[in-house]
Amino acid sequence: MLAACGKKTGFRTQSIVKQVASEVGSADQAKEKTDGSDSPSQGEERKDSLGVFETTVYPVLRDRCVGCHESEVRPFFAVASSQDAHDTIVDQGKVDFADTERSRLYLRLYEENHNCWSECGDDAEEMLTALNSWADVNSAEPEVIPNMTAMVAFKDGSDPSPRADPTTIVQIAADSADVTAPMVAMDDDPDGDVAEYLVVPTGNGGRILPEAVVGQAGYTFDVKVAGTYYLWLRVNAPNGNADSFHIDFNGSGFFRYNTGVTNGDWAWSRVNNNNAELSFDLPVGQHALLVGHREEETRFNTVALTMVAEDFEGSAAAPEEEKELRIDLSGLTGKNATLVFRAREFDAESKTILISDLQIETDTAILIKEVNPLINGKLNSQHSNYKQVDLNIAAPGGQLSSAPMVLIGEQGFALDQIAFSFGVVE
């Protein structure tokens, strides 16, 4: 590192920056002195973050970075408004007040030689000196964050355990169906690709009109997460005279579903209405499907109701690099409860991390509101996807959120740690 510019350590996390201005002249300042001295209060001594930024980092940015980061290239931290520039840098994690040498504004010059204006080492030193001066305004005890879990390292997660995806319900056709003849289960797939499948065999004729349907298979799907769903069948449609079914979903009445010809292979096909795309906005609860006979020898062996609209392959397999992490909540709740989620590197260059599939495992009902992830103990206002969580989860547990979220890391997946705080956890 640059010998002339030491680290600034022990500084308050980024969230304090926005609080500084409001704390000057706050209750701390108004508190009556009890020692009779004339020394200034903590609030009086604390400098204003924006004011210091305007005399340290901001002039460097306006001098050196306006060509790109004023309006052409995001993030816009060299704009004419010093307040907007200040907030952009803080909100997007471009400065690390706990360790200024980890700040992106510095590392882009020191490690990546990004658009240096003279010698990159000298330019990085100029930026670091400015960052150190700005960081002094935040010198304070670390912020206490209520209802915060212990931190765990992303890299220490385990390989994901098999878990049913609540937004994908797959059923084996012959095992799950209530089947009416002449549709029957067969186990004579010539290639041995499937154990059993359903089909109306040759000799039973076609049922071109929906009202003529006799042979059918019925299924019930128990939807746990409301949303937009799609129906898929894994089919074997050998030719153009054996490539369709009639479909009835939730009592819609039968309509024609063209599977597409697969030439004797097994393939996933999304249910359509005579080739028109279909989706279903479904509430939580049970939903019914009927697959009816239209053409002989059109076969299917699996049915699925899923939120996956394209390239469905039968399950949502976890990427190889994905990790499952578990955080004990017993210290916060007094209950045997665990937060379980998945994480993987999203983009190595930007040090971003993707988390998803937040679950709670618990022996007793647990109330959770406003979930906030923290990277290395720090809150980031951009990490807000789970702020609206408000759930009472009964034993043995359930899903907090299926939504993924990209987190802005500091050092990357291999080094960063994650924790969570809650508005309510009890």
Residue 162 pLDDT grade (very low, low, confident, very high; cuts 50, 70, 90): low
Distances (CA, A) of 307 to 12, 278, 282, 419, 424: 42, 12, 10, 29, 30
- Residue whose entry in the numeric block shows the structure tokens 């010809």: 261
Residue 40 has pLDDT above 50, yes or no: no
Residue 13 pLDDT grade (very low, low, confident, very high; cuts 50, 70, 90): very low
Please state the pTM of the whole predicted model: 0.45
Task: Give the model's pLDDT for residue 320.
Answer: 55
Segment (H or E) for 306: strand 299-306
Task: Give the model's pLDDT for residue 374.
Answer: 95
Residues in a beta bridge with 220: 288
Q: If DSSP codes are grouped into helix, strand and coil, which group holds residue 262? A: coil
Is the domain 168-306 a CATH 3.30.420.280 member?
Answer: no
pLDDT above 70 as % of the chain: 84
Q: By the 8 A CB rule, do 322 and 334 touch?
A: no
Task: Give the model's pLDDT for residue 361.
Answer: 94
Task: Give the model's pLDDT for residue 170.
Answer: 85
Distances (CA, A) of 156 to 319, 323, 419, 421: 16, 8, 13, 20
Domain ranges of the chain: 15-138, 152-160+318-425, 168-306
Q: By the 8 A CB rule, do 426 and 377 touch?
A: no
Task: Give the model's pLDDT for residue 336.
Answer: 95
Give 239-285 pLDDT, tens digit per residue.
Answer: 999 999 999 999 999 999 999 999 989 999 999 999 999 999 999 89
Segment (H or E) for 59: helix 57-64
Mean pLDDT on 344-366:
91
Residue 78 has pLDDT above 80, yes or no: yes
Q: Please give the mean pLDDT across all residues of the chain.
A: 83
Q: Can you tell me the distance from the alpha carbon of 115 to that of 110, in angstroms, rounded to the nearest whole number?
A: 11
Mean pLDDT on 370-380:
92
